[in-house]
Amino acid sequence: MNRTLLVIDIQNDYFPGGLLPLWQAEETEARIVAAIHAARERGDGIVLVQHVSTAPAGFMAAGGSGVLIRQAVLDAAGGAPVVTKHVADAFQDTDLASHLPGSGELLVCGMMTQNCVVFTAMSRDADPYKVRVVGDLCTAPTEVVHRIALNALRSKTRLMDAADLGRADAA
């Protein structure tokens, strides 16, 4: 079964100096970059997701520096496809599914555990896939919000840590 690492919204507005800096954003980014490298070594697919606001200015607005995917993620992903979304669910009104042919498992990670990660992992469009959220590759505005969101996901999808990604028995 082929796997795809789905990396959601690692964008400047979520980091120090951005409009909505998240809890441990830089540490989470470093773990995601390492996971992308490991996924490439394993031959897993990688898809990046970028949120673009429909508002003319402000948070994640097109044309602003806050909307940009972080350079370290782009460098690690090596030309992986980028799916643009305008709502929390990365499947809704996007071409995400077209980048997943042959993929039976989605490993979901990224920013806004309680929002974009949850809505993507629980999307009806994710039903054809075995969905796992990689908890230590996600973050939220605060640690409490992050942990509450992960706890809520436990009854809906399997959670794992980045250390489990390379283990054969994690499948």
pLDDT (tens digit, 9 = 90+) per residue, 2-13?
999 999 999 999
Residues 7-43: pLDDT tens digits? 999 999 999 999 999 999 999 999 999 999 999 999 9
Residue 14 lies in a domain: yes
Residue 171 lies in a domain: no
Residue 170 lies in a domain: no
Residues 140-167: pLDDT tens digits? 999 999 999 999 998 877 777 888 776 6
Residue 169 lies in a domain: no
| Residue where the block lists tokens 């044309």 | 63
Residue 110 lies in a domain: yes
Give the integer Cα–Cα distance in Å for 110 and 70: 12
Q: List the structure tokens of 142.
A: 């605060």
Q: How many Cβ atoms are within 10 Å of 49's Cβ, its own excluded?
A: 25
Residue 91 lies in a domain: yes
Q: List the structure tokens of 6.
A: 């789905």
Average pLDDT of the residues of the chain = 93
Residue 159 lies in a domain: yes
Instruction: Let me know if 59 is exposed, middle or buried by CB neighbors in 10 A (0-12, 13-18, 19+).
Output: middle
Task: Provide the whole-model pTM.
Answer: 0.94
Domain CATH code at residue 73: 3.40.50.850
Please enumerate in sequence order all residues whose Cβ is within 8 A of that of 132, keeping only pairs 6 or more positions apart, or say none: 105, 106, 107, 108, 157, 158, 159, 160
Counted domains in the chain: 1
- Could you tell me the residue range of the domain that residue 55 belongs to? 2-164
Please enumerate in sequence order all residues whose Cβ is within 8 A of that of 33, keeping only pairs 6 or more positions apart, or say none: 72, 73, 76
The distance in angstroms from the start CA to the end CA of the chain is 9
